[in-house]
Chain A
Amino acid sequence: AQSVTQLGSHVSVSEGALVLLRCNYSSSVPPYLFWYVQYPNQGLQLLLKYTSAATLVKGINGFEAEFKKSETSFHLTKPSAHMSDAAEYFCAVSEKSSGDKLTFGTGTRLAVRP
């Protein structure tokens, strides 16, 4: 069975500050890991995904995530927060690189202060 744990249901940063959203996974097989973003009253949009090609993955909107097998982590970062980054972020795991049958974390809501 696979699962992900997102530490911190709410994170608040100042505009221009570093964004760090934490995700730890549990998987009995090599995992495929994903980060999705959800803006208010919208569906989910894929930010980035790890499929074993490279441990540092760059995504859209300046976000990136690093896969660390020894720590079973896949934390999402962005060097400088923008007001438009305010949203809810979900980490998810799948047994397939295509992202079928995703198991989601409970989400982290990011607030950006002016």
Chain B
Amino acid sequence: NAGVTQTPKFQVLKTGQSMTLQCAQDMNHEYMSWYRQDPGMGLRLIHYSVGAGITDQGEVPNGYNVSRSTTEDFPLRLLSAAPSQTSVYFCASSGTGRGQYFGPGTRLTVT
């Protein structure tokens, strides 16, 4: 199993550009989520999904969209990037009662 994979690893955007962060898992987990990690703030939940076709907002959803058309994939879309969205983004999944499995992260810089 590859676990949770994320692409790209690094990305630089200009203010106002859009992009999609990809996340995939091969563990057949129902629950998937996106977090952002900022220095001194820990990880904060952006959006989550309890299954295909079902998504909901977390603590910091503004500026981000998600969709879940399949069990495996949970992309995060930035519609108009802002410098405040410079962060490290982690995708995670769970489904076995053993806690969440995290991907390796995407480091995003918005200039």
A67 within 8 A of B: no
B40 x A98 contact (CB < 8 A): no
* Bound form: Cα–Cα A36–B99 in Å: 10
**CB-CB < 8 A to A49: which residues of B?**
99
Count B-side interface residues using an 8 Å CB cutoff.
Answer: 28
* Residues of chain A in range 33-71 having any CB-CB distance to chain B below 8 Å: 34, 36, 41-46, 49
Counting from the closest, the 8 A-B pairs by CB-CB distance are A43-B102, A104-B42, A99-B99, A46-B99, A44-B102, A104-B43, A106-B42, A43-B104
Chain A residues with CB under 8 Å of chain B are 9, 34, 36, 41-46, 49, 90, 92, 97-107
The segment from B11-19, B69-77, B90-98 found at the interface with A is: B90-98
**CB-CB < 8 A to A92: which residues of B?**
43
Q: How many pairs, one residue from A and one from B, have CB atoms within 8 Å of each other in the complex?
A: 60
**Given A45-B102, A106-B42, residue A100 in contact with residue B31 (CB < 8 A):** yes
B41 x A106 contact (CB < 8 A): yes
**CB-CB < 8 A to A44: which residues of B?**
43, 90, 92, 100, 102
Other A-B pairs beyond A42-B104, A45-B102, 12, CB < 8 Å: A43-B90, A43-B105, A44-B43, A44-B90, A98-B97, A98-B99, A100-B48, A100-B94, A101-B48, A102-B43, A102-B45, A102-B100
* Bound form: Cα–Cα A110–B97 in Å: 28
A101 x B43 contact (CB < 8 A): no
Q: How far is the CB of B8 from chain A (nearest CB, A)?
A: 14
**CB-CB < 8 A to B42: which residues of A?**
90, 104-107
